[in-house]
Amino acid sequence: MATMLFRMAMAAICAVVLGWSGAAEARAADTVRVDGGLIAGAAADGVRTFFGVPYAAPPVGDLRWRAPQPVKPWDGVRSATAFSPVCRQTAPWITEPQSEDCLYLNIWAPAAPSSAKRPVMVWIHGGGFFGGSGSQALYDGTRLARRDVIVVTLNYRLGVLGFFSHPDLTAESPDHVSGNQGILDQIAALRWIHDNIAAVGGDPDRVTIMGESAGGESVAILVASPLAKGLFQRAISESGNYGLPLDPAEARQFDKTEAEAAGAAFARAEGASGIAALRALPADQLLRAAWSPRTVVEGHLLREDLTTLYRTGRQNRVPILVGWNADEGKDLAPEIFATSQFTAERHAALLEGLLHRTPSAAMLAKYPARTDAEARASIDQFTTDYWGWRIWFWARLQAAGASDKAYVYHFVHSPTEPLEPCGYGCKAGHGAEIRYVFDQLQQDARPWGADDRLLADQIAGYWTNFAKSGDPNGAGLPRWTPFDGSDRTIHRLGTPAEAVERGPVDFDVFEP
């Protein structure tokens, strides 16, 4: 079900490659020393940048599918003024050059000197664990860096190269596990940040991880994993929640034995006798084969499923800021249900297949399907609410702890319509909040209104405040109350009229 993690057709929401527009005007930045050697970036408009910085050894050859290894040192000064290739993938919206040698990160830091170390915000991209990159245009950290924070984006291995289990891999691993390579890459990047970010003025003890969709699910995993303990102090997850199994049927998709069996079957289908033969195959051949990337509860990165870890309070104890968008269902329904045939006849069976139980009369009344048109509209709303309920479920587990606060948002704003027809992420759709988080409205040539600009300023303010203190509140911002399980503590991100129109939410029909 990993492919259900949202085929983020980011081309439809402006996730194009960031051709660094300021390169011609940028001047050389100070050279700094990091693991591996000296790097030199650039500086322009009050922001220093370091792009394409290696945080691990290239995972190629014998290192394909192994846990990330330390950076290989280089001689002289390494230029850090251009993005690296992105990780090999099958995502159609990514047009950047690709390579298996892709474990690099990018940094935006204020150029102005500071007597205090600055908080660090680490963005983990989405894309269903099969696509995306840290250099997509929407993730340009320039405007956030001007709010006195340091922004880091990163690449991590994807698809069959980043989420692959096999008995041979388990046998050769010193930890006797396999899979989750992409998440281990994220941890390696966080460890690099912890050890090196002070070189550009960052505070290694004030790191916030944040991500959307599969990046948001990555955040949930990192908060739960003992391997990430101490590498960050706050966590933001946007529309990422599928990693929390809510029943035994869901938990099976994360099973180590099933994952290894799937990997062995993949090898046989490719005519490979074992992992050595698979490593000898070109990446192009591996990527042409069908593969559904998924994370695995393998006893190392994850010792138990996320729901059990959060319910028993064995996650890393950090405050979280989490939420979902009001129109995600239309984007996510085809992936979640693995079909686009949402008819009245199939309606109840589709709900039962997803929930692993017969839908109640109250649920069928709330999401009626007397006609095919009504069934389609109900599926869209059901999917949005189901997504929100899973976020609410996670936050409720967090809020039950004695000291770790949760802040929950509901993004209800319908952005100004694009100049061309919108195909994905429309209105408050999947990923619609990202341009507001990074305060990057100007990347999209829409006739943005005052409501859009105000909301972008507010959301960027909330997110950076949270990174600085663990509390999103600050001067000039509407008060955001910590989540206590009630609707009144879900913070609506939108105009007052939109907040009234889209709320309150009622998740009672989803309770088992």
CATH number at residue 160: 3.40.50.1820
Q: Is a pLDDT exceeding 80 seen at residue 294?
A: yes
Mean pLDDT over 452-457 rounds to 98
User: What does the pLDDT look like over 148-206, one tens digit per residue?
Assistant: 999 999 999 999 999 999 999 999 999 999 999 999 999 999 999 999 999 999 999 99
262 located within any domain: yes
84 located within any domain: yes
What pLDDT is attached to residue 8? Answer: 41
Closest CA to 478 of 465, 152, 120, 86: 465
Q: What is the number of other CB atoms lying within 10 angstroms of the CB of residue 286?
A: 20
Q: Is a pLDDT exceeding 50 seen at residue 26?
A: no
354 located within any domain: no
Q: Answer yes or no: are the C-beta atoms of 384 and 510 closer than 8 Å.
A: no
Strands 86-87 and 98-99: parallel
What pLDDT is attached to residue 402? Answer: 60
Which range of residues forms the domain containing residue 271?
2-337+377-510
CA of 213: how far to CAs of 33, 107, 287, in Å?
Answer: 34, 22, 22
Using DSSP, state whether 407 is helix, strand or coil: strand
Q: Is a pLDDT exceeding 50 seen at residue 104?
A: yes
What pLDDT is attached to residue 195? Answer: 98
430 is catalytic: yes
135 is catalytic: no
Residue 116, CB half-sphere, CA atoms under 13 Å: how many? 8
Active-site residue identified among 300, 410, 430, 491: 430
d(CA 16, CA 8): 12
Q: Is a pLDDT exceeding 50 seen at residue 16?
A: no
What pLDDT is attached to residue 241? Answer: 79
What pLDDT is attached to residue 24? Answer: 36
213 is catalytic: yes
342 located within any domain: no
276 CB burial (10 A radius; 0-12, 13-18, 19+): exposed
403 CB burial (10 A radius; 0-12, 13-18, 19+): exposed
357 located within any domain: no
Q: What rounded mean pLDDT belongs to the chain?
A: 92
- Domains in the chain: how many in total? 1
Mean pLDDT over 338-357 rounds to 95
Q: What's the pTM?
A: 0.94
d(CA 122, CA 50): 14
346 located within any domain: no
List Cβ neighbours of 326 (8 Å cut-off, separation of 6 or more).
Answer: 384, 410, 411, 412, 427, 428, 502
Q: Is a pLDDT exceeding 80 seen at residue 65?
A: yes
Confidence of residue 458 (pLDDT cuts 50, 70, 90): very high
User: What does the pLDDT look like over 260-285, one tens digit per residue?
Assistant: 999 999 999 999 999 999 999 999 99
CA gyration radius for the chain?
Answer: 22
355 located within any domain: no
343 located within any domain: no
Q: Is a pLDDT exceeding 80 seen at residue 432?
A: yes
What pLDDT is attached to residue 499? Answer: 96
Active-site residue identified among 100, 298, 328, 498: 328
Active-site residue identified among 133, 213, 218, 414: 213
Q: Is a pLDDT exceeding 60 seen at residue 23?
A: no
Report percent pLDDT > 70 for the chain. 94
